[in-house]
Structure 1
Amino acid sequence: MPRVKFQDLELEYDTFGDPADPALVLVMGLGAQMINWDVRLCGLFVDQGFHVVRFDNRDIGLSTELAHLPVPDFAALAAGDTSTAPYLMSDMAADLVGLLDALGIERAHLVGASMGGMIVQQAVIDHPERVLSLCSIMSTTGDKSVGQGRPEIVATFGQPAAATREEVVEQRLAASRMTRSPGFEADEDAVRERIAASYDRSNRPMSTLRQLAAIVASPDRTEGLRGVTAPALVIHGSHDPLVHRSGGEATAAAIPDAELIIVDGMAHDLPLDVWPTVVEAVTANAKRAR
């Protein structure tokens, strides 16, 4: 796959569709690689007339690993001392804009899932001139009073990393069962294959901790979101145990004229049966862009 370089970073990316079509950039979440955006879902967006771009966020997948940065002190972060946070959502939003620059894309439609939703929120706050429309999926504003997940699920991000490939796959599969949508059929074999493919492509447990620190240390985006003028769509699951639906509701409430879709039975994943809803809603929202 190709990659772009700017400043001290290289970002791995790939594209689908005709570069002459409007760009739709997919931004993945905490510790997740771009391959978590299923190629079939990318194809559905291409069918709607988008040039789809997906990429590995900094520190994950095949993009630049930032292992030289300090290990985050989560006790200090919880107490308000952000000095050990390696970077912030604003840095990751700037990465997204750097990718657009490198690809010669002036403005794009942005779709972010979980931490990716935080990144696209920050991007439209910091770089509004680059955003045609945005969609924030299963995400939150950074306001600590909303969107908080169940403690036992949040704690899985801090558990010791498994030693072998098989153990890592089983550990992540167990975690995925905790965030799986109860209202939709799950294909556990497909989930296992995706987890194994992610491990084989890149396994960076410390990178996930650095990204988690960036989430914790980044400021509340609520006030910044109040000034957003781009068409905005917020999608959230009714049964999300990792980012409570109140995070999505607060995001939609903060952005003027944002559309909120609560998907009944969806948790913190994107089941196959939800894809048509997501594609239809994202496409309709993009058509609202000037």
Structure 2
Amino acid sequence: MKLTANGIQIEVEDSGSEGRPVVLLIMGLGMQLIAWPADFVQSLVDAGFRVVRHDNRDIGLSEGFDEAGTGNLIWQSLRQRIGLPVRSAYSLQDMADDALGVLDALGIRRAHVLGASMGGMIAQRVAASAPERTTSLVSIMSSSGARHLPGPRADVAAALMRRPPSRTEAALVAHSLGLVRLIASPAYPQDDRVLTDRITRSLRRAYRPAGVVRQMLAIGADSGRDSLLGRISSPSLVLHGDADPLVPIACGQDTARRIPGARFVAVPGMGHDLPPQVIDILLQQIVPFLQIAERRA
């Protein structure tokens, strides 16, 4: 369903009955709400939670910002590298306000806020800017954004900048599959047929490459978030794979170090994806954490 949130149209999925404690799931760069594995969502519902997911702005079925253009991604990346401001159509704080707007539209006062990758960055901003709305924070395979932290492995960074050879469905699927393989969890490989089906489903639902670029620029422009993390007062759990080639584990460790009282859990063999075995490992940490945080709240 579409809701008006923070003044724009946001696509939302709401699972689980009203009256339950709410878990708000925020996905990462270019990823739609359907990227949350169904088993993950259902396990949270089975544990007694109401699960709300949404397409971030510019992605999936939510409102786009094509009128803003994309600018020159390579030039803006160079500006970021030398410490100059990056120009972006909107900010990660705007996206955090979108997430809070989703809660407003659904009449939800407080939620456990859980984000993956860029979604973790957005979730951190929600927790820092709206502590009264945040029952707990879970940040998965994300970063504090501090400048000294390591970036993606060289081949992964190159793949992120590479364009597909054409816009045929076959070419787009092959291009996406190549990137997914590069960042996948080495200890938990997934069948290419499963990945291909998932990518195809996502592409047929929505294909928004310019939105991905604008989200990348929003990440690059997000300076100062590391200094805000000390304001977070909600119980916080930081989960990160020790084999992540896109957002190295040092980024998760730094996030946990900066959030008062945060607990850090390293997941051996996990890369930058959510295969079924990793989902099981994450749930073993997340469900008890949410339940304890809910009781304390």
TM range (shorter): over 0.9
CA–CA separation in structure 1 for the residues paired with 2:17 and 2:41: 13
**Partner of 2:258 in structure 1?**
254
Once the 2 structures are TM-superposed, how far is the Cα of residue 147 of structure 1 from its aligned partner?
4.4
Change (3 A) 1:6 1:238: closer
Partner of 1:268: 272
Q: Distance in 2 between matches of 1:147 and 1:139?
A: 12
1:135-193 deviation line (CA, Å, top 9, x unaligned): 00000011121141113212222222432111000000011110111111312211111
Partner of 1:90: 93
Aligned partner of 2:131 among 122, 128, 131: 128
2:116 is aligned with what amino acid? Answer: A
Is 1:37 aligned with 2:36? Answer: yes
Cα distance, 1:268 vs. partner?
Answer: 0.4
Give, in whole Å, the separation in 2 of the partners of 1:220 and 1:242.
Answer: 21
Greater mean alpha carbon deviation, residues 273-282 or residues 243-252? 273-282
Compare 200-209 and 70-79 and name the one that shifted more.
70-79
1:130-149 residue pairs with structure 2 within 5 A? 130-149=133-152
CA contact (8 A) 1:181 1:269 kept: yes
Deviation at 1:229, TM superposition (A): 1.1
Q: Could you tell me whether the CA contact under 8 Å between 1:72 and 1:213 is conserved in 2?
A: no
Contact 1:140 1:147 in 2 (8 A): no
Cα RMSD between the aligned structures? 1.4
2:284 to 262, 280, 283: 280
Structure-to-structure mapping, 1:81-230, within 5 angstroms: 81-82=84-85, 84-161=87-164, 162-230=166-234
What code does the residue aligned with 1:276 have? Answer: D
Instruction: Report the residue type matching 1:261 in the other structure.
Output: V
3-state DSSP of counterpart to 1:118? helix
* Residues 147 and 248 in structure 1, CA contact (< 8 A), matched pair in contact too: no
Distance 1:82 1:71, change over 3 A: farther
Partner amino acid, structure 2, of 1:66: F
Instruction: Report the CA distance shift for 1:42/1:54 in structure 2 as closer, same or farther (over 3 A).
Output: same
With normalisation by structure 1, the TM-score equals: 0.96
Q: Percent identity?
A: 37
For residue 60 of structure 2, give the secondary structure of its aligned residue in structure 1.
coil
- The offset of 1:7, in angstroms, is 4.9
Looking at structure 1, the residues matched to 227 and 64 of structure 2 have their Cα atoms a distance apart, in angstroms, of 32
* Aligned-residue offset at 1:67: 0.4
How far has the Cα of 1:8 moved from its partner? Answer: 4.1
SS at match of 1:226: helix
Shift, 1:80, TM fit: 4.3
> What letter corresponds to residue 230 of structure 1 in structure 2?
S
Moved more, 277-286 or 51-60: 277-286
Secondary structure, aligned partner of 1:68:
helix
Q: How many residues matched?
A: 289
Answering whether residue 67 of structure 2 is matched by residue 68 of structure 1, we say yes
Query: CA–CA distance in 2 between the matches of 1:15 and 1:7?
Result: 18
Structure 1, unpaired ranges of 5+? none
Shift of 1:253: 0.5
Identify the range of structure 1 (193-202 vs 277-286) with the bigger mean alpha-carbon deviation.
277-286
1:111–1:136 contact (8 Å) kept in structure 2? yes
What one-letter code is carried by the residue in structure 2 that aligns with 1:154?
A: A
Q: Distance in 1 between the 2:6 and 2:266 partners?
A: 39
Alpha-carbon separation, structure 2, partners of 1:68 and 1:151? 32
- 1:80-123 Cα shifts (integer Å, max 9, x gaps): 45463111111100000000000000000011000000000011
User: Letter of the aligned partner of 2:10 in structure 1?
Assistant: L
SS at match of 1:18: coil
Cα distance in 2 for residues equivalent to 1:261 and 1:89: 25
Q: Which one-letter code corresponds to 2:57 in the other structure? A: R
Provide the C-alpha distance between the structure 1 equivalents of 2:154 and 2:148, rounded to a whole number of angstroms: 14
